Amino acid sequence: MWANMLLPLCVIPLIATVGVLLLPTRWSKVIALVSSLIGLILCIPIYLGFDSIQSQTMQWAISVPWIKSLGIRFAIGLDGLSFPLVLLTKLMMPVAVLASWNEQRHQKAFMACFLALDAAMTGTFLSTDIFFFYVFWEAMLIPMLLLIGVWGSDQRVFASLKFFIFTFFGSLLMLAAIFTVFVAAKAQTGVYSADIASLTKTMLSPEPLWWGLSVQDLVFWGFTIAFLIKVPIFPVHTWLPDAHVQAPTGGSILLAAVLLKMGTYGLLRFSIPFGNDSFFKFTPLIAILSLVGILYGAFVAFQQTDMKKLVAYSSVSHLGLVVLGICSRNPEGLTGAVIQNINHGLSTGALFFLVGFLYDQRHSRKFADYGGLASVLPWFSFFIVFVACSSMAVPGLNGFIGEFLILLGSFKAQKTWGMIAVLGVIFGALYTLTLVRKILFGPITSPENRNLKDLSLKDYLVLIPLSLLMLWIGFAPQGLLDKMKPSLENYWKNPVSAYADRSNGENPS
């Protein structure tokens, strides 16, 4: 029974996509919701059945040959790295569907894009075959492009193209890196294989090749640039505010909660295992970039007059923390990074949901149009304060656990990193509170706001579970952490071992 646990996660949204396209429009929303809820329900046996002791190995693995002569197989599996992200994806799907419940334009195509995106996102996290990983990774771009470009706001075309081209640039570098590894592995083992685990055993020469960079460095950067763009890290983050702001609410939620996580997931799954030495060499650079991102994101968020833009820049800041946690190269930092990944998904997803709730009624994202909502929308106000607390890491909520562990890890690695990162956390409180203050408090400036409706049932259905999860992770993070403990604690030993015998002086390719 457990053997085919994962396949439905990927296949159900695909079937639902076809169903939405073929059946009449009035069914679209229902199909999308049902399929995403089934996905969520399937997560329960997966959570319970996931063997935490074995979390370093792929569980429920399936492998079907596809192109035999190139060793390409359709292979999926779940390990400690992908486990939390798959759950997060499946959790955020119903949220995104419910957030888009009132979307009127081209509902059929809209829901089809969502479900296709769901399939591709799940596939990306589940793939244990590098080729299929890449296919899913790229396939994700098309529905997202359409979601932003068709259902977005005024600047949607620009934002969608920018999103696509930035990400595609990174993907192509990654493709070149994949080719290099693929061919090098063939040269060493004699057969083509696209299995990620066996490819990471490929020895890539550390000899300088091009501008002082070795093959391993180039492969490392090929992967890393792709993932850092997706994260996004400081100089390549500019697509994110545009995409976030222009995307429809559901699109923003998935973008923030899931798509950005693929960057950090990719760093852990590909960049570091394939280029461990290079990661060692370039850690300071990446850490400094992420520190710049933390502070810069926080400052820019503080200056915004647009709610969605504020949340978008806060993502730059928060994801900078996640990358910093990875750069600390110790289990604490890594654990914090993984937890913070989830936290950011929950809190930013919820924030976008709440902002979308306001936008649906007032069609404005400007702070200037709001103020004093606390007296009109008490329940909305409660939830936005709650989510803001989670986002700025108030102890007792999930954000605290993640940020604390990341800071601990980075202090252990480099005191200065830790100190600068703490500053970022403080500024985080500043801009989050600004958001809360400008929306909720003060006099009601615009008379239209007096007639706003408070949360409805569907909003409670989203917000209450998300809030409970925030509390749960805040009070009892062990429930999630224990599941992936071995894979996180041994992570820094494992990628090294793959290269351990490289020092014998062999020079491949």
Estimate the crossing angle of helix 398-413 against helix 457-475, to 10 degrees: 40
- Is residue 172 close enough to count as binding another protein by CB under 8 A? yes
Strand 59-67 relative to strand 208-210, pairing: unpaired
Among 82, 107, 127, 180, binds another protein (CB under 8 A): 180
Closer residue to another protein (CB): 221 or 400: 221
First to last CA, the chain: 44
- Is residue 197 close enough to count as binding another protein by CB under 8 A? no
Q: How many angstroms separate the Cα of 325 from the Cα of each of 159, 295, 330, 406, 487?
A: 30, 15, 8, 5, 16
- CA distance linking residue 58 with residue 78, whole number of Å: 5
- Is residue 496 close enough to count as binding another protein by CB under 8 A? no
The closest of 428, 274, 413 to 344, measured between CA atoms, is: 428
- Is residue 42 close enough to count as binding another protein by CB under 8 A? no
- Is residue 14 close enough to count as binding another protein by CB under 8 A? no
**In the structure encoding, which two tokens stand for residue 189, read together?**
């083992």
- CA distance linking residue 425 with residue 418, whole number of Å: 10
Least distance in angstroms from the C-beta of 172 to another protein: 4
**Side chain identity at 173, as an amino acid letter?**
L
**Angle of CA points 84, 40, 118, to nearest 5°:** 80
Helix (H) or strand (E) holding 40: helix 28-49
Among 2, 179, 379, 441, binds another protein (CB under 8 A): 179
- Is residue 34 close enough to count as binding another protein by CB under 8 A? no
406 with 383: CB under 8 angstroms? no
Closer residue to another protein (CB): 48 or 64: 64
Question: At 192, is the secondary structure helix, strand, or coil?
Answer: coil
Least distance in angstroms from the C-beta of 182 to another protein: 7
- Is residue 411 close enough to count as binding another protein by CB under 8 A? no
Least distance in angstroms from the C-beta of 256 to another protein: 22
Among 7, 70, 376, 429, binds another protein (CB under 8 A): 70
129 with 74: CB under 8 angstroms? yes
CB neighbours (10 Å) of residue 448? Answer: 12
- Is residue 138 close enough to count as binding another protein by CB under 8 A? yes
Q: How many angstroms separate the Cα of 379 from the Cα of each of 399, 452, 454, 456?
A: 22, 12, 7, 10
Closer residue to another protein (CB): 74 or 499: 74
- CA distance linking residue 40 with residue 461, whole number of Å: 14
- Is residue 18 close enough to count as binding another protein by CB under 8 A? no
Which range in 31-39, 166-174, 292-300, 346-354 contacts another protein by CB under 8 A? 166-174
Q: Give the single-character DSSP code of 328.
A: T
Closer residue to another protein (CB): 172 or 385: 172
Closer residue to another protein (CB): 177 or 462: 177
Give the footprint of another protein on residues 108-137 (CB under 8 A).
Answer: 109, 131, 134-137
Query: How many residues are there in the chain?
Result: 509
Among 44, 53, 157, 285, binds another protein (CB under 8 A): 157
Least distance in angstroms from the C-beta of 437 to another protein: 36
Among 26, 64, 68, 363, binds another protein (CB under 8 A): 68
**Side chain identity at 261, as an amino acid letter?**
K
The closest of 144, 124, 146 to 136, measured between CA atoms, is: 124
Among 23, 44, 67, 468, binds another protein (CB under 8 A): 67
Q: Is the dihedral of CA 263, 268, 274, 275 positive or negative?
A: positive
Least distance in angstroms from the C-beta of 462 to another protein: 28
Least distance in angstroms from the C-beta of 69 to another protein: 5
- Is residue 182 close enough to count as binding another protein by CB under 8 A? yes
- CA distance linking residue 164 with residue 189, whole number of Å: 36
Which range in 3-11, 177-185, 314-322, 435-443 contacts another protein by CB under 8 A? 177-185
Among 74, 110, 125, 164, binds another protein (CB under 8 A): 164
Residues facing residue 53 across a β-bridge = none
- Is residue 52 close enough to count as binding another protein by CB under 8 A? no
Among 11, 15, 42, 161, binds another protein (CB under 8 A): 161
- Is residue 169 close enough to count as binding another protein by CB under 8 A? yes
Least distance in angstroms from the C-beta of 26 to another protein: 16
Which range in 73-81, 182-190, 421-429, 498-506 contacts another protein by CB under 8 A? 182-190
Site size toward another protein, by CB under 8 A: 38
- CA distance linking residue 13 with residue 38, whole number of Å: 9
Least distance in angstroms from the C-beta of 20 to another protein: 12
Least distance in angstroms from the C-beta of 12 to another protein: 18
**In the structure encoding, which two tokens stand for residue 287, read together?**
């850490």
Closer residue to another protein (CB): 67 or 423: 67
Q: Give the single-character DSSP code of 268.
A: I
Q: Give the single-character DSSP code of 503.
A: G
Which residues of the chain form contacts with another protein (CB under 8 A)? Answer: 66-70, 106, 109, 131, 134-139, 141-142, 145-146, 149-150, 156-157, 160-161, 164-165, 168-169, 172-173, 175-176, 179-180, 182-183, 186, 509
